Chain A
């Protein structure tokens, strides 16, 4: 599914990621750990195709429509409502039965009552929940989550635990976190960046 051989990434003069190699099988679950600035976000951006390695070779067997990405930023428009944001992405991803799917996700992530509020009125935790909805909207088979537990309260974190558990075996998952205990039991592979 993923084959990375000595990939490196440089922004300007600074190296964001030094020689990193790993492989991940179909439906595997990779846990990426590392301190701040060790290149977790850079690696994840390369996996989804937002960046290309400066050196080394990286092969990811997934088309854009199959990739779900929950980034450090929520990737939603702050002046639009949750419903409008998801509707836009649902259209771009050609999600079948868009309205039902969006309604179900908002319900599941506890945002249904706030669906018509602009995202700028959301708390950080609610925005993160919306970011998760956005990433999972099109039922991706390759899911990349960058510090997904950030800003989530205990209920939200448990919700995410359940979602991740449900994905095991049916989708390839890459999660970066500096709190590895949370998802460690699910992981089939680990990568520690230094």
Chain B
């Protein structure tokens, strides 16, 4: 492995280890997403159809991701370890990539609970819907790791993060819902791939500026 990949691997392992020890984020996300689906059962009138159910699934997924993103930089804030990481000679974008991958892992674990629960409660999931979820997850974590680092620099981080994140997530929701309910999901999946590429490159290139002076 190259040096960059080794740095990223060390950072991801650190986050996974912290989560394994504290068991805070993933259980909270899993319980939250189930609770949201139950709430939707009551919020959704009878006979609303599968499209409405898919729409609500996406609302649940985005808000669950938001829950995880809000916690993503907490370990770095306590004890100001972000300073330690910034000082290390590794490329700063490795810090972003490590955080994105760790967040993606948490989100994927929560969705391992959420998607079967959705299929059980509401509608069976198709392959294209799952592909949409996977592609949207990448975008959510790539953008989310950056904007949550931005929000963490301010005083009102918990307030600002959802405000910043939701407008950025709207294209992902469009792509996700489109790939769930359209008969020809190809263009929506392609759109998600483009979003992931564009915003990953942008986040990768700009992360250093967000965490340094």
Contact = CB atoms under 8 A, between A and B. Distances in A.
Q: Do chains A and B touch in the complex (CB under 8 A)?
A: yes
Interface in A91-118: 91-94, 118
Interface residue range, chain A: 20 to 34
Interface in A73-105: 73-80, 84, 88-89, 91-94
A76 B86 contact: no
A75 B89 contact: no
B88 A77 contact: no
Interface in B61-118: 75, 78-81, 83-90
Contact of A84 (B17, B84, B86): B17
A73 B79 contact: yes
B22 interface: yes
Contacts, number: 69
Interface string B1-41: 00100110011001001100110000000000000000000
A63 interface: yes
Given A91-B6, A93-B89, A78 B79 contact: yes
A76 B78 CA distance: 9
B87 A48 contact: yes
Max chain B Cβ within 10 angstroms of own Cβ: one of A65, A69, A75: A75
B79 A77 contact: yes
Max chain A Cβ within 10 angstroms of own Cβ: one of B22, B75, B87, B89: B87
Nearest to A92: B88
A55 interface: no
Nearest to B10: A91
A63 B89 contact: yes
B87 A67 contact: yes
B164 to A, nearest CB: 21
Contact of B81 (A48, A75, A94): A75
A71 interface: yes
A61 to B, nearest CB: 16
B67 to A, nearest CB: 20
B74 to A, nearest CB: 11
B89 A69 contact: no
A9 to B, nearest CB: 10
Interface in A48-72: 48-52, 63-65, 67, 69, 71
Contacts of B81: 75-77
A76 B88 CA distance: 13
A134 interface: yes
Nearest to A73: B80
Contact of B7 (A49, A73, A91, A134): A91
Contacts of A80: 14, 17-18, 21
Contact of A77 (B10, B14, B89): B14
A78 B78 contact: yes
A74 B84 CA distance: 9
A169 to B, nearest CB: 24
Contact of B88 (A51, A64, A79, A84): A64
Given A73-B79, A91-B7, A92-B10, A134 B84 contact: yes
10 contacts: A49-B87, A50-B87, A75-B81, A76-B84, A80-B18, A88-B14, A91-B7, A92-B11, A93-B89, A118-B21
Interface of B: 3, 6-7, 10-11, 14, 17-18, 21-22, 75, 78-81, 83-90, 212-213
Q: Ordered nearest first, which 4 A-B pairs have the shortest CB separation?
A: A75-B84, A65-B89, A92-B88, A91-B10
Given A69-B87, A79-B75, 18 more contacts: A50-B212, A63-B89, A64-B88, A64-B89, A75-B79, A75-B81, A75-B84, A76-B79, A77-B14, A78-B78, A79-B18, A84-B17, A89-B84, A91-B7, A91-B10, A92-B11, A92-B89, A93-B89
